[in-house]
Amino acid sequence: MAADINLWPCIPPASRSRLTKSTFWVIRAPGEIEFKRFSEEYIKYLNDNGFSDKLSKVEAINLSGRKIYTPNDVISTFGFIKEEKCFHDYSYLRPGKFSDTDLSRDIAAIQSLRGG
């Protein structure tokens, strides 16, 4: 859960043991992060809460067709996901044989989107 235990997930958990994900990623190699998709639950959350500005950004990202991002690109392009009063969860795969140290900047970039 979030570092501050007073924060709640922005999207209600799918179950008691699993947080609902907002974004899905694949870390291909150091400096090479593939954006897979926004979750249906995240899109619904934005619609239900009237976040039209964020929906526009989601649509622009989807329409761009861009898939591969650097850690800095992840932060600058997807930073709008962060919220102050709640947090978003994410999922990432790392199919390569890279260590946590090798991927530390990539993992930190994705984790920075959590917010809270």
Looking at the structure of the chain, the number of domains it has is 1
CA gap 61, 78 in Å, rounded:
9
CA gap 2, 95 in Å, rounded:
26
Asked if residue 3 belongs to a domain, the reply is no
pTM of the entire predicted model: 0.88
Asked if residue 87 belongs to a domain, the reply is yes
The per-residue pLDDT for range 99-112, each reduced to its tens digit, is 999 999 999 999 99
Q: Which domain holds residue 56?
A: 8-114
74-103 average pLDDT score: 94
110 SS3 class = helix
Per-residue pLDDT at 16: 81
The per-residue pLDDT for range 25-35, each reduced to its tens digit, is 999 999 999 99
